[in-house]
Structure 1
Amino acid sequence: MDVLSPQIPRTQAPVPARVPARERIAGLWRLLRPQQWVKSLFVVPIGVLGVTEWSLGTAAGVGWALALFVVASSAVYVVNDILDREADRAHPVKRSRPIASGRVSIRAAALLAAGLLLVAAALLAARTVQDAWPAGTYLVINAAYTLGLKRVAVVDIAVVASGFALRYVQGAIAAEGEVSVLLALTIFAACLMFAAGKRRHEIGVAGSAHRPALAGYSIPFLDQLIGLAVVTTLLAYALHVQAAFSPGVPGTLLLVSVPLVVAILVRYLQLILVRQQGGDPSKDIAADRVTIFLGGLTGVLLVLGTVLP
């Protein structure tokens, strides 16, 4: 893994004569990436699967973890958009982002990021270090990502994937449930697959100039990495099911979820390798009815197999 820094063509930022207040507000809202909040809404609540005794504290804990990761992830997005504005202008899609397009000033974006970080700090301060270390770790590694790790091939997508595993762990701790290392590994490996698929799509669409780390990748290498992530996801999930298995209906439901996970992984491979998708995993999955059906059914089986006596 090498730190690679090819020269990125610099283009003059568009400077609109006047940006209407409504457009500025809409641009600030876009900087928060609200469409990405669904990631936390799906991953953080997985932590309740390890809860044995339910209470109001369980719901409050999950709500706190959700709010914290929504705010923290938005702050990370804003800071990255500020620092990546020149590279974004060289990308056919990202150049329309609020800062890169000139619709939101750097000063306004910086104030927004500072406000989000203050809110995140307040939420972190509401819990002890033992209860909030996953979210704190998320902020630390993303700061390192912003300052340089995003330029290191493989490390960049590993950081992205670890953020989702940390979401799950934080949800489990906040809900006072048991953390499954195998389930955390499943989430990490699956998200590594998504991130590698995104890098594959980026190389195919815009080459490697707009993102320094892309120079450390190639399509064949990413295909191998995606295959490794798929196998790891399946093995980790199967081992998680084995560890949680018990005779009866719950155990049977968990076992049935395993081939469904296989089907989900195969479907995603089809989307990125055959249909050449993967540029926005969240959008691609949300638009694919097969994946939604399989994922929803798997989630129901996993919940029932965990909570039923």
Structure 2
Amino acid sequence: MIEPTTSVTGRIRLLMKVVRVHQWVKNVLIFLPLITSHTLMSWDAHLRPALLMFLGFCCFASAGYVCNDLLDLEADRNHPTKKNRPFASGAAPASWRHGLLPALLIAGLALGAFIGFTATCVLVIYLLVSLWYSLHLKRKVLLDAFVLAGFYTFRVIAGHVASDIEFSPWLLAFTMFLFLSLAFAKRHVELLKLQDRQDADGDDKPVLGRRGYILSDLDLVPVFGIASGFICVLVLALYVGSDRITELYSAPMILWLLCPLLLYWLCRVWILSHRGQLHDDPVVFALRDRTTWFIAVLAAALVWIATTGTPASDAPATSRAPDRVLLAGGTS
């Protein structure tokens, strides 16, 4: 066990580790509807409520992580890597177990209230499903991966609700298949690690006794993940080829280059996963991987060129943002 730190700087760093600040990057998906509808610079109507929703998700997501760590305390202490988590290792003061969770919940509810009733309901639904996942769903084969992917898509839905932007079936389908592929990649990594730790007799055991997957699933899980990733690229290709694209982009043909970029990145993720070189947390992998950053910058540049470039001969001279519908009632 590690003795709790007493310095102010040390406690701040420890707190950031407990609430998993690095995981907050997932909540950037809330701004995706604003980016794809070209309304990111509209502060009062869209950006301000989306920013409040982002902060609310950060609070509720951290509350879910704290709750999950407390529920899995004994299991984490016997895990080869999770034993180093603040609560499992004893680095976090015992008082944090009782005060941190309600503080995060109150802060999240307050932020949701600033946006409106619908936004508050979205936050509460996310929290309840997160708790249900921690208590039960994560032990269900396949369902756990679908719920994990659903959490990411739900962030996009939250962005639509907060910013009052019309829902895009293209965007929701794209994110669902993309993150379903990454969810299966996460499970694949866990199965590979279990294989490395299995006993000499080759017992077919559930992953750490907490998941429903067994070693014989090792060949099947990548099939689900790779198929989901390829469908994600197909959705993107169909969107780029749709009539809707000309309403938002002056040079939409440039966006076709996003398809091979995304396909390459997904194939690389699965190659690394197959080799056992992928981090068990896709978010951490993306943040640390230079190739991922390069592809992201290149993709952003392509979107910028498609938005500001010379209009194609068959495209309208000016672009217009899609109509937006107020979800809570009325029109924007």
TM-score range, shorter chain: 0.7 to 0.9
In the alignment, the residues of structure 1 paired with residue 269 and residue 67 of structure 2 have an alpha-carbon distance, to the nearest angstrom, of 30
The residue that corresponds to 1:3 in the other structure is: none
The residue that corresponds to 1:55 in the other structure is: 42
- Describe the SS at the equivalent of 1:160: helix
1:298–1:99 CA distance, 2 compared to 1 (3 A) = same
Paired residues of 2:27 and 2:155 also in contact (CA < 8 A): yes
Paired residues of 2:230 and 2:263 also in contact (CA < 8 A): no
In the alignment, the residues of structure 1 paired with residue 307 and residue 130 of structure 2 have an alpha-carbon distance, to the nearest angstrom, of 32
**More moved, 65-74 vs 260-269:** 260-269
1:304–1:176 CA distance, 2 compared to 1 (3 A) = farther
In the alignment, the residues of structure 1 paired with residue 224 and residue 134 of structure 2 have an alpha-carbon distance, to the nearest angstrom, of 23
The residue that corresponds to 2:213 in the other structure is: 215
Normalised TM-score (structure 2): 0.79
1:20 pairs with 2:33: no
Task: Please state how far the C-alpha of 1:144 moved relative to its aligned partner.
Answer: 1.1
Q: Larger C-alpha radius of gyration, 1 or 2?
A: 2
Q: Structure with the greater relative contact order (CA < 8 A, sep ≥ 6): 1 or 2? A: 1
Task: Please state how far the C-alpha of 1:78 moved relative to its aligned partner.
Answer: 0.6
> Out of 77, 85, 97, which is 2:85 matched to?
97
Task: Please state how far the C-alpha of 1:281 moved relative to its aligned partner.
Answer: 1.2
Q: Number of residue pairs matched?
A: 293
What stretches of structure 1 of length at least 5 have no aligned partner? 1-13
Paired residues of 2:115 and 2:162 also in contact (CA < 8 A): no
1:177 pairs with 2:168: no
In the alignment, the residues of structure 2 paired with residue 85 and residue 173 of structure 1 have an alpha-carbon distance, to the nearest angstrom, of 35
In the alignment, the residues of structure 2 paired with residue 158 and residue 188 of structure 1 have an alpha-carbon distance, to the nearest angstrom, of 9
- Describe the SS at the equivalent of 1:276: coil
Task: Please state how far the C-alpha of 1:94 moved relative to its aligned partner.
Answer: 0.6
- Describe the SS at the equivalent of 2:241: helix
Task: Please state how far the C-alpha of 1:75 moved relative to its aligned partner.
Answer: 0.8
The residue that corresponds to 1:6 in the other structure is: none
The residue that corresponds to 1:282 in the other structure is: 283
Paired residues of 1:62 and 1:171 also in contact (CA < 8 A): yes
Paired residues of 2:31 and 2:159 also in contact (CA < 8 A): yes
Task: Please state how far the C-alpha of 1:35 moved relative to its aligned partner.
Answer: 1.2
In the alignment, the residues of structure 2 paired with residue 119 and residue 307 of structure 1 have an alpha-carbon distance, to the nearest angstrom, of 40
RMSD: 2.5
Counterpart of 1:117 in structure 2: which amino acid? L
In the alignment, the residues of structure 2 paired with residue 307 and residue 68 of structure 1 have an alpha-carbon distance, to the nearest angstrom, of 33
Where does 1:155-304 land on structure 2 (aligned, <5 Å)? 155-206=143-194, 208-210=206-208, 212-215=210-213, 218-243=217-242, 244-246=244-246, 249-274=250-275, 276-302=277-303
**More moved, 263-272 vs 89-98:** 263-272
Identity over aligned pairs, percent: 26
Normalised TM-score (structure 1): 0.85
Task: Please state how far the C-alpha of 1:111 moved relative to its aligned partner.
Answer: 1.5
What stretches of structure 2 of length at least 5 have no aligned partner? 196-205, 310-318, 320-332
**More moved, 84-93 vs 129-138:** 129-138
Paired residues of 1:50 and 1:177 also in contact (CA < 8 A): no
In the alignment, the residues of structure 2 paired with residue 169 and residue 73 of structure 1 have an alpha-carbon distance, to the nearest angstrom, of 16
Deviations 1:184-212 (A, max 9, x none): 12112211211211111112224544252
Paired residues of 1:89 and 1:100 also in contact (CA < 8 A): yes
Deviations 1:154-197 (A, max 9, x none): 11122211111111121233223222122112112211211211
In the alignment, the residues of structure 2 paired with residue 240 and residue 142 of structure 1 have an alpha-carbon distance, to the nearest angstrom, of 31
Task: Please state how far the C-alpha of 1:115 moved relative to its aligned partner.
Answer: 0.7
Paired residues of 1:49 and 1:303 also in contact (CA < 8 A): no
Paired residues of 2:49 and 2:163 also in contact (CA < 8 A): yes
The residue that corresponds to 2:135 in the other structure is: 147
The residue that corresponds to 1:32 in the other structure is: 19
Paired residues of 2:53 and 2:115 also in contact (CA < 8 A): no
